[in-house]
Structure 1
Amino acid sequence: MSTQRYIRIQEFARFHQIEESILYEFDDFGLIHLYHRTDGPCISDDDVQDCERVVRLFRDLGINKEGIEVIVRMRGQIVSLQQELRSLKSLMEQPHRRSDQSV
């Protein structure tokens, strides 16, 4: 059984050279999820990559929170559609394998 690991936002902010307040804003806006633990607000290991993506869009590309929200939502839709496409391709290939084996 694996346990969930967390990184404190102070560490995340220092590593990425951003203000902690922007992480609170992203959380309030729903772009990231902060976990409020006894040792302070944290980001789960599972969410670090998404948080880094949001920070890059904001800091490096200068995209505002509303724009990031659209990008994150569209990216989620693309990932979902890619998974669905892989699943459908897999289903379509199955009958071909069966017909190839019977020849």
Structure 2
Amino acid sequence: MDTTQLISIQQFCTHYNVPIKFINALQEYELIEITITNNQDYLQTNQLNAIEKMMRMHYDLDINFEGIDAIYNLLKQVEQLQEEVRVLKNKLSVYEGF
């Protein structure tokens, strides 16, 4: 597997000063995916922004993992709905031109 899009969980946790059990808890709630390559655990780099948001929710706002799960899923739903509204507005603008 191409490891250029991966970051070691150990390296991530050291950099952000968070325990590995935090990352494992996020995986247990299926909020992130952990990739295992050569018996080492990695995070995909495209997940880093989401993990940083979840870290702020947990450590800065003292939200538990159940709350993070609910909030994160609601945020994903909002993003999907916003994308759907954008697509529908674009389709509508085509018809308004006639």
TM value normalised by structure 2: 0.89
CA contact (8 A) 1:31 1:54 kept: no
Give 2:18's aligned residue: 18
Letter in 2 for 1:28: E
1:63 alignment counterpart: 63
Question: RMSD between aligned alpha carbons?
Answer: 1.4
CA distance in 2, matches of 1:51, 1:36: 18
1:50-89 alignment runs, 5 A limit? 50-89=50-89
Deviates more, 1:64-73 or 1:41-50: 41-50
Match of 1:68, as an amino acid? Answer: I
| Superposition deviation, residue 76 in structure 1 | 0.7
Q: Which residue of 2 aligns with 1:32?
A: 32
Tell me the amino acid that sits aligned with residue 10 of structure 1. Answer: Q
**SS of corresponding position for 1:35:** strand
* C-alpha contact (below 8 Å) 1:9/1:43 kept by paired residues: yes
Q: Measure, in 1, the Cα distance between the counterparts of 2:55 and 2:32.
A: 10
Q: Provide runs of 4+ in structure 1 moved above 3 Å.
A: none
- The answer for the alignment partner of 1:44 in structure 2 is 44
Q: What is the CA distance between 1:39 and its match in structure 2?
A: 5.4
TM-score between both structures, scaled by the size of structure 1: 0.85
Structure with bigger gyration radius: 1
Counterpart Cα distance in 2 of 1:40 and 1:72 = 27
The separation in 2 between residues aligned to 1:11 and 1:56, in whole angstroms, is: 19
Query: How many corresponding residue pairs?
Result: 96
Give the distance between the partners of 1:46 and 1:39, measured in 2 at CA: 21
Question: Any stretches of 5+ residues in structure 2 without a counterpart?
Answer: none
